[in-house]
Structure 1
């Protein structure tokens, strides 16, 4: 087992932890927002851990990117859908999603009312989740071609 394989397994396995934390944070935010519930320390920690897990996944992904034999920058990169996906599309969409998560978390800390905190987390994290799902779906389509 080489370094690439180890990091690839880590990146693939850790995504489930990220997904569970992230979906839980979104559900809790919608329940808090629509149910007019207080923004508790538990909500704050859930949102923080979801953001931290996404950033950790990013760091693992960066290591994987530089170890990957699929990443190539040459004249055929953009012509091959699989190489293009892993060289360009995947990480760009994930960076956009992570930026939205970070912005949403930062904005929620500055707001005062519990409903506005829940609302901003629900909206930013949900949009980020849609981008992540779209990025992963694009990857499946690229690989299947």
Structure 2
């Protein structure tokens, strides 16, 4: 079960990264072109948001089924913090990704309250881009690309 969820988490990660990149680029081009914020712009951002939240839920399930989590339970958090691999999977990756998801969600929420099109694009562009950078910073690349 763990390996199935891990594979699902990896596949959805590709979709999340791609969709966040598309949403951020779409918003930046909307700012540059000074075009109106259309329904399709909202849908692109919403789909990226939905995939990011889905990925988060799958990641939480994966975390609690993980052998790394079991190692933390067995040896304690102090020992886990001394092991860089366990620390990455149990502390750094989840924490930074939660922060990224919060920023993406804030960008979505703020864009809904904005009244002009440029502000809507800016809220999505900047918050989604920062979230994307944070997500990219904590991906365990060596394990992910195996």
2:56 is aligned to: 58
Question: Is this contact kept in 1: 2:35–2:117, CA < 8 A?
Answer: yes
Name the residue aligned to 2:22. Answer: 24
- Judge which range, 89-98 or 18-27, deviates more: 18-27
Q: What's the TM-score once normalised by structure 1's chain length?
A: 0.91
Residue matched to 1:39 = 37
Runs of 4+ residues deviating >3 angstroms = 139-142
Q: How many residues align?
A: 139
Partner of 2:8: 10
- Equivalent residue for 2:66? 68
Partner of 1:134 in structure 2? 137
Q: Cα RMSD between the aligned structures?
A: 1.6
Shift of 1:140: 4.2
Structure with greater helix percent: 2
Alignment of 1:81-92 (within 5 A): 81-92=84-95
Q: Secondary structure of the residue that 1:37 maps to in structure 2?
A: coil
Instruction: Please give the alpha-carbon distance, in whole angstroms, between the structure 2 residues aligned to 1:25 and 1:5.
Output: 30
Instruction: Structure 1: state its 5+ residue gaps.
Output: none
CA distance in 1 between counterparts of 2:130 and 2:56 reads: 18
Normalising by structure 2, we get a TM-score of 0.90
User: How far apart, in 2, do the equivalents of 1:84 and 1:141 lie?
Assistant: 15
